Structure 1
Amino acid sequence: MYIPACLRSGLAIAAAALSLPACGSDNETLLSDADYERNAVVDVKAYIQDNLDEFAAATAALQAAAPEPDADGWSATSDEEAVAAMKAEWKRARQSYERVEGAIAVVFPDFDYSTDARYDAFIEVASDDDLFDDEGVTGVHAVERILWADQIPEPVLAFESALPNYSPAAFPATEAEAAAFKDELCARLAADAETMKTEFRLGFALDAPSAYRGVINSILEQVEKTSKAATGEEESRYAQYTLADMRANVAAGEATYEAFQPWLLTKGAEGAEVDKAVLAGFNRLSSAYDAIEGDALPSLPEGWSEEAPTEEQLATPFGELFSLVKRESDDATPGSLAHDMTRSADLLGIDQLP
């Protein structure tokens, strides 16, 4: 169960042999910077652990939902109920992973690759003619590509089919392919998720830069997720789930910021000003995302050009979203969320990641 930040901070302080009054007391100002930093990291670790637990549970449930292998494999028509169950568990896994992606990319870089790299990143290294085994292309997007094999958007097909080492997406067509999907590809994803969950719980070290700067990096990458939609390269491209990914990234940023917020508010007038700016930035992004129905990015306007969009294109739902995300993700633009998050990290003395 996720324990509120105030209570977790009290537990962390007690563990450090400090005697403090209840949360909300004026005497909390007696905490040192080191105390605030330690408490914030404890809170973030609890948040990450909750989501890793959920990720492991969802990937295991996805594997369990896969149909038992039979002679003609399975498809969205012949095994509609099972495919729907797998898709639901895939989305649950995706949400939990995207809420901790910023930190996982730092603390588990190898697992971040094996579980979250895109199809084009894998086949740039080597071809992968067997879609269903646990080698070559693996992870959530390998599973996604199979589950939505009959619904892949045309821009995605155009992009991927032009890549060297490309193999078309497909449902398992034989008993052997269905068995490999369940017992190799899905099992590998579930095993990687379980390993991350267990290693993190056993005391994996997490410091403030990994916890905080990792989330900042996730905010910086929001613009990439809209930019790549124009070329069919967006992240959750087969399920058309990229906007849901972005919502989860922002939710993670807000949760992480909440853990560090009490520390920032000890930094006088500047801390209060930066806090107000960061909260406003999160509100701008989350409000824009929530105003769009569904889990997919809005449709691209005809003739869209990121380098030279027209006023008419920028006035479309996609153009408006792109413009907002481009600004909020630019840490060189004063007043953007990325800029103000960086200011908050600098004010707290949280170092840049290597």
Structure 2
Amino acid sequence: MQLPACLRSGLAIAAAALSLPACGSDNKTLYTDADYERRAVVDVKTFIQDNLDQFAAATVALQAAAPEPDEDGWSATSDKEAVDAMKAEWKKARQSYERVEGAIAVVFPDLDTSTDARYDAFIEAKADDDLFDGEGVTGVHAVERILWADEIPQPVLDFESPLLNYSPAASPATEAEAAAFKDELCERLRADAEKMQTDFEGLALDAPSAYRGVISSILEQVEKTSKAATGEEESRYAQYTLADMRANVAAGVETYAAFQPWLLTKGAEGADVDKAVVAGFDRLSSAYDAIEGDALPPLPEGWSDEAPTEEQLATPFGVLFSLVERESDDAMPGTLAHDMTRSADLLGIDELP
């Protein structure tokens, strides 16, 4: 994931600033902090809306790709073409949502839960014995769990099967289950995506939601790697967690680019912070791009987050974990999370409630 030129070129930043509303006299153009903030929030809102539009479209296509219900339901073997089509649309939906997750979790917390909560979070309070309806366990991971039911990794099974209220993943085995999957579970995801899409259009986004939300996504990168050790990682059934992380960073890059011209008005300190943030994004992006595929690297045998050995840390997973753990630490100077927080503080963007 190559960083966009706007993060590297002072000329591009200067050009972007020219689109801001002007004020002043004697042919001098003056821009206030409010002008820069307004322009940044507009750009981020456009980016989020575009991705919500893509998310909604992918959920529609996923539902449409579901096989017509028949007496023996469907499976990845008996309806391979249709299942492969659903998986492709699921990945499109996942990418679009992960690019806006930071802001959506802030502005639509209930929809974020119904759309993106993990299986274990749903069943913690109540069992859900019907995998295919639109109640209880819902969202992208509920659909993912069914689409990849025949290839769930053993560590994931080891984590989930002892959970209270656990039900094994399965493909629809009857006409009724196949119909429920398409008309209830997929429909619930489609409806939630559409509600986000339409409600966000009229929303007055603010700078903390736009900027601090992305910082929250950066802070959560380490959780996505650390939970791999116990089978709890996010897109665990499709083995798509690294793709999620790439999308989170891509969103951070886009959001930061919108605020970058404003930060560069803050003198030498702003320039220093900008240089540090760009370098941090480059470190994460380069590390993610160096790994082939969409899954996290295999865990070293005997891996422990608390006491990894030097040999384990030298493996591809260990190298990635160490980098992500460091860059997600906002208390450590020189990390991406720390420098993003510095930039928000310098701009006067308030903490999220």
Alignment TM class, shorter chain as reference: over 0.9
CA distance in 2, matches of 1:27, 1:296: 52
8 Å CA contact 1:9–1:40 kept in 2: the answer is no
Q: Quick one: structure 1 residues 11 and 138, their matched pair in 2 at CA, closer, same or farther if it must change by over 3 Å?
A: farther
CA distance in 1, matches of 2:72, 2:16: 52
Name 1:199's counterpart in structure 2.
199
CA distance in 1, matches of 2:91, 2:325: 26
Paired residue total:
340
CA distance in 1, matches of 2:222, 2:271: 27
8 Å CA contact 1:12–1:42 kept in 2: the answer is no
Cα deviation for residue 116 of structure 1 reads 0.1
8 Å CA contact 1:153–1:238 kept in 2: the answer is yes
CA distance in 2, matches of 1:223, 1:46: 28
Name 1:169's counterpart in structure 2.
169
Cα deviation for residue 8 of structure 1 reads 8.4
CA distance in 2, matches of 1:127, 1:348: 46
**Aligned residue identity for 2:164:** P
Name 1:216's counterpart in structure 2.
215
CA distance in 2, matches of 1:9, 1:277: 21
CA distance in 2, matches of 1:72, 1:136: 24
CA distance in 1, matches of 2:247, 2:34: 29
Q: Quick one: structure 1 residues 108 and 19, their matched pair in 2 at CA, closer, same or farther if it must change by over 3 Å?
A: same
Name 1:129's counterpart in structure 2.
129
Cα deviation for residue 248 of structure 1 reads 0.2
- Runs of at least 5 residues in structure 1 that lack an aligned partner in the other structure: 21-25
Q: Quick one: structure 1 residues 9 and 162, their matched pair in 2 at CA, closer, same or farther if it must change by over 3 Å?
A: farther
Name 2:323's counterpart in structure 1.
324
* Higher relative contact order, structure no. (Cα contacts within 8 Å, ≥ 6 residues apart): 2
**Aligned residue identity for 1:59:** T
CA distance in 2, matches of 1:74, 1:169: 14
Cα deviation for residue 205 of structure 1 reads 1.8
**Aligned residue identity for 2:315:** T
Secondary structure of the corresponding residue to residue 255 of structure 1: helix
**Aligned residue identity for 2:144:** E
Name 1:271's counterpart in structure 2.
270
Secondary structure of the corresponding residue to residue 150 of structure 1: helix
CA distance in 1, matches of 2:70, 2:181: 12
**Aligned residue identity for 1:211:** A
8 Å CA contact 1:313–1:319 kept in 2: the answer is yes
8 Å CA contact 1:8–1:39 kept in 2: the answer is no
Cα deviation for residue 12 of structure 1 reads 6.7
Name 1:228's counterpart in structure 2.
227
Runs ≥4 in structure 1, deviation > 2 angstroms?
Answer: 4-13
* Pairing 1:1-354 to 2, within 5 Å after superposition: 13=21, 18=22, 30-201=30-201, 203-354=202-353
**Aligned residue identity for 2:119:** Y
**Aligned residue identity for 1:45:** K
CA distance in 2, matches of 1:186, 1:68: 13
CA distance in 2, matches of 1:51, 1:19: 33
TM-score, with length taken from structure 2: 0.94
TM-score, with length taken from structure 1: 0.93
Secondary structure of the corresponding residue to residue 232 of structure 2: coil
- Runs of at least 5 residues in structure 2 that lack an aligned partner in the other structure: 1-5, 7-11
CA distance in 2, matches of 1:334, 1:242: 27
Q: Quick one: structure 1 residues 171 and 278, their matched pair in 2 at CA, closer, same or farther if it must change by over 3 Å?
A: same
Q: Alpha-carbon deviations, 1:110-169, whole Å to 9, x = none?
A: 000000000000000210000000000000000000000001000000100010000000
CA distance in 2, matches of 1:78, 1:8: 53
CA distance in 2, matches of 1:325, 1:213: 19
CA distance in 1, matches of 2:335, 2:329: 7
CA distance in 1, matches of 2:329, 2:137: 32
CA distance in 1, matches of 2:345, 2:20: 24
8 Å CA contact 1:8–1:43 kept in 2: the answer is no
Q: Quick one: structure 1 residues 200 and 344, their matched pair in 2 at CA, closer, same or farther if it must change by over 3 Å?
A: same
